[in-house]
Structure 1
Amino acid sequence: MLHISKNKIKIREDYNKFKAVKFSSDDRRYNSFNKFVIALFIIIFIILFLPWTQFVRGNGSITTLRPEQRPQSIQSAIPGRIEKWYIQEGDYVQKGDTIVHISEIKDSFFDPNLLARTDAQVKAKGFSFESYQNKVQALDYQIAALREERDLKLEQAENKLLQANLKVQSDSINFEASKIQLGIAERQLERTQTLESEGLKALTELELKKIKYQESLAKIISQENKLLESKNMVLNAQIEITSIKAGYKDKISKAESEQFTALSNQADTESQLYKLENEYANISFRRTLKYVVAPQDGYINRSIQQGVGETFKEGATIVTIMPSDIDLAVETFVDPIDLPLIHVGEEVRIIFDGWPFIFFSGWPNLSYGTFGGEVVAIERFISPNGKYRVLIAPDPDEPDWPEPIRAGTGARSFALLNNVPVWYELWRQINGFPPDYYQPEVDKTTIKK
């Protein structure tokens, strides 16, 4: 002691009078306590070498496996006003059951006879379309008749041209024959003049030769005139053929022009007819939209539109419905650092909110009140909450999930990873290391298929 104070402690306390000292000073109890501590350290040492299953924790809620089984809103395809409700919240409805009856609020559909009037317009436009079809067909017949008549006329004119050409050939031959006869008559006249001057022929015979010569001269002029007339007939026949072609070309062109006009009117009428038929079909289908029906079997959750006489716009939500036949799944979220450890087909243990459980995360076989699951989908893009979404379906080899749970119930998931010693897991947790990275064993036959 330093003996700083001048006050000395002269009174010595007797510690044996305290119960704690008496209790701890007993050798039997001391030996028992030492044995207990040694046994505890041995047990802890043995536990450190027991296998521990690493896991990845995730928080989420219950959803459905297929998109069409999730809660959906029933919307109205047309604007309207509520006339009558056929359901109330919590009712079970089957596919096709009427939920609400609405009425039109657009002035273009107020006419109660709108469908009948539109049908009459469709029939009238259809009759106009048929009339144009008949006109086009009649013009087809007219054009065909004009072409046939033109061919006959051309054939007739070509025959005339052929006759004229043959007549030109005949007149040309006669003209050449007349030339030969004229030459013969001229030579005979010259010989007769020579013989008459020598006194060997009579004057009468000379005069006959002169007359014959004049007749031959007149005949050649006549034959030449006929030849020119025949050539003129050939020209007339050619002109007639050209005139027939031009005349019938004008007539056929006019008929074709009328036909194209009729075809244009027919196409325009057909377009208007299709438009009216489309309008008729739209009006007919729109009338079926006045009754909003259930798209599938399910339960009515909440009515968004309320009362009678309330108006709403097209696409507005009328009620929300929860399908009755669903396959439950757990939608959980894991941290990005744990994402490489999650694989499709991996086993997962699930704890549902409000469900009694005794859970040992490292020893899932000793857990009670947890349920098995299997990873079926992993999101490829991070969610707005900064984590990745994982979808878990019930494990077919595990007991069924409890019946009372509903979609939206909270759930916690534990994806089971590698088995490691307890001491290694404690060392990893103290140092803040992530679980061991691993790849699950995959059946090569399945990959090949």
Structure 2
Amino acid sequence: MLNISPNKLNRKVDLMPFRSSQRVFHERDHKHFNRFLMVFSLIGFIVLFLPWTQTISGVGYLTTLNPEHRPQTIQSPIPGRIEKWFVQEGDFVNKGDTILFISEVKNEYFDPDLISRTGDQIRAKSLSVTSYQEKVKALNSQIGALQQERTLKLEQARNKLLQARLKVQSDSIDLEAAKTNITIAQRQYDRVVQLEREGLKAITDVEEKRLKLQETQAKLISQENTLLASKNEIINATVEINRIQAEYTDKISKAQSDMFTAQSNQFDSEAQVTKLENEYTNYEIRSQMYYIRAPQSGYINKAIQGGIGETFKEGDKLVGIMPSEYALAVETYVAPIDLPLIHIGEKVRIQFDGWPAIIFSGWPNVSYGTYGGKVVAIETFISSNGKYRILLAPDPDDHAWPKDIRVGSGANTLALLEDVPIWFELWRQLNGFPPNYYQPEDGMAQSNKK
């Protein structure tokens, strides 16, 4: 009776005599069906103009708002060997509690008295520094004494030079006097000789004047020798000054050289002391690293390195810990085309895995089992999965998140955008267009999506 064949049986065969046909084919049923179609069409047409909230869906998981609250592993900054465990998996530890004890595996740290012996070396080198300091002080005193002695010696030599110069002046005056005396004696001798020739003087007078002239000549020669000796004393005094300067310059330079050598040894010893103190501090800090302690209060999740006597390298993971106090957040991902529609402070609806929910993406007010979130961070660089990471915090204006959810569980998110008619949303979906681009103004977009 499907009227597939070109032979129209309904025109050749009358079905009305049959009881079943009488109960099906009658105008009253057609009238009710037509009314139903009209009402349904009218309701469907009205529904097309109802508001529909555009959304952006995402898939993520639970994490923590603060990085320090996330699960972490504890590493050892030094290589070692496990000697003793103080906890077991599932135990709660407070911040600073000892988790395990390790021992050294490097031979340069095997000495149990390494710290005390390094302290002895520091004390010995410190005494060496003190000795060099005292030697530098002694040499400085010696240099000061030499400089003072040089000053006195030079003053004495300069006085001798001044005396020699004054003596030269005195001898020069005496020489001039001797020259004057010889001139006078020569004149007297010539005058006596003339008078003797005239018979006015006796020969004895002539001889007396000649003797006096010779004595004056002898005194002149003696005075010239004395003047030359005085000039020679000036030269000797000048040479003595230069000798004193050279002698004490050599002595002071040698003392200064010894002082600089002592200072160099002092600085070298101080550098060695500083190096030993650095090593001493490093040894002390390293000895404290033998006890692996909890960085914060939490629960021991897993012992990554197990057993006793097992060795590990520096930086190897030893044990995992989950902080006991943390602020939950949801880490979700959105496609790059939807990133411009996400803003800090936007409202988001979240469905947690394991929590039943009835979701109407376009009508969030009638959804059941979803919880409110707020965008607090938007990653500016794309992730390895080709999407952008969005961090959501609990919405303080919505009801609190369930207490039994745990970090790492899954979550589905719906970011609430603009309200548009349903016919517009259908048209957008059929054409594959993205949601409307908009910018919230003074939080109005957020308040409209509550």
**TM-score in terms of structure 2 length:** 0.92
2:189 & 2:256 partners in 1: Cα distance?
Answer: 70
Deviates more, 1:417-426 or 1:101-110: 101-110
- Deviation string 1:143-179 (CA, Å, 9 cap, x unpaired) is 1111111111111111111111111111111111211
Q: Aligned ranges for residues 214-363 of structure 1 at < 5 Å? A: 214-363=214-363
- Deviation string 1:387-410 (CA, Å, 9 cap, x unpaired) is 111111122222221111111111
Aligned position for 2:447: none
> How far does residue 54 in structure 1 lie from its aligned partner after superposition?
1.0
Deviates more, 1:388-397 or 1:202-211: 202-211
Query: Are residues 1:41 and 2:41 paired?
Result: yes
Aligned position for 1:132: 132
Q: Aligned ranges for residues 31-180 of structure 1 at < 5 Å? A: 31-180=31-180
> How far does residue 306 in structure 1 lie from its aligned partner after superposition?
0.7
- Deviation string 1:50-99 (CA, Å, 9 cap, x unpaired) is 11111111111111112111111101112222121111112111110000
> How far does residue 15 in structure 1 lie from its aligned partner after superposition?
4.5
Change beyond 3 A, Cα 1:15–1:269: farther
Q: Are the equivalent residues in 1 in contact too, given 2:15–2:21 (CA < 8 A)?
A: no
Change beyond 3 A, Cα 1:391–1:221: same
Name the SS for the 1:179 alignment partner: helix
1:246 & 1:47 partners in 2: Cα distance?
Answer: 117
Aligned position for 1:447: none
Aligned position for 2:188: 188
1:107 & 1:16 partners in 2: Cα distance?
Answer: 111
2:319 & 2:357 partners in 1: Cα distance?
Answer: 37
1:403 & 1:440 partners in 2: Cα distance?
Answer: 32
Change beyond 3 A, Cα 1:173–1:279: same
Q: Aligned ranges for residues 355-394 of structure 1 at < 5 Å? A: 355-394=355-394
- Aligned CA RMSD, in angstroms, stands at 2.2
Deviates more, 1:119-128 or 1:286-295: 119-128
> How far does residue 442 in structure 1 lie from its aligned partner after superposition?
4.8
> How far does residue 11 in structure 1 lie from its aligned partner after superposition?
7.5
1:296 & 1:17 partners in 2: Cα distance?
Answer: 87
Change beyond 3 A, Cα 1:234–1:9: closer
- Deviation string 1:317-348 (CA, Å, 9 cap, x unpaired) is 11011112211111111111111111122221
> Aligned letter for 1:286?
R
Q: Are the equivalent residues in 2 in contact too, given 1:377–1:391 (CA < 8 A)?
A: yes
Q: Are the equivalent residues in 2 in contact too, given 1:189–1:206 (CA < 8 A)?
A: yes
Q: Are the equivalent residues in 2 in contact too, given 1:16–1:22 (CA < 8 A)?
A: no
Change beyond 3 A, Cα 1:219–1:42: same
- Deviation string 1:301-327 (CA, Å, 9 cap, x unpaired) is 111011122121121111011112211
2:10 & 2:367 partners in 1: Cα distance?
Answer: 61
**TM-score in terms of structure 1 length:** 0.92
Aligned position for 1:14: 15
1:200 & 1:363 partners in 2: Cα distance?
Answer: 170
Aligned residues: 439
Unaligned runs of 5+ in 1: 444-449
Name the SS for the 2:403 alignment partner: coil
Identity rate of aligned residues, in percent?
60
Name the SS for the 1:152 alignment partner: helix
Change beyond 3 A, Cα 1:191–1:24: farther
Aligned position for 1:395: 395
1:204 & 1:376 partners in 2: Cα distance?
Answer: 143
- Deviation string 1:247-276 (CA, Å, 9 cap, x unpaired) is 111111111221222122222222222222
Runs of 4 or more off by more than 4 Å in structure 1?
Answer: 8-11, 18-21
Q: Are the equivalent residues in 2 in contact too, given 1:96–1:294 (CA < 8 A)?
A: yes
Q: Are the equivalent residues in 1 in contact too, given 2:53–2:363 (CA < 8 A)?
A: yes
2:27 & 2:131 partners in 1: Cα distance?
Answer: 126
> How far does residue 26 in structure 1 lie from its aligned partner after superposition?
5.5
1:63 & 1:391 partners in 2: Cα distance?
Answer: 9
Name the SS for the 1:396 alignment partner: coil
1:18 & 1:431 partners in 2: Cα distance?
Answer: 51
Name the SS for the 1:438 alignment partner: coil
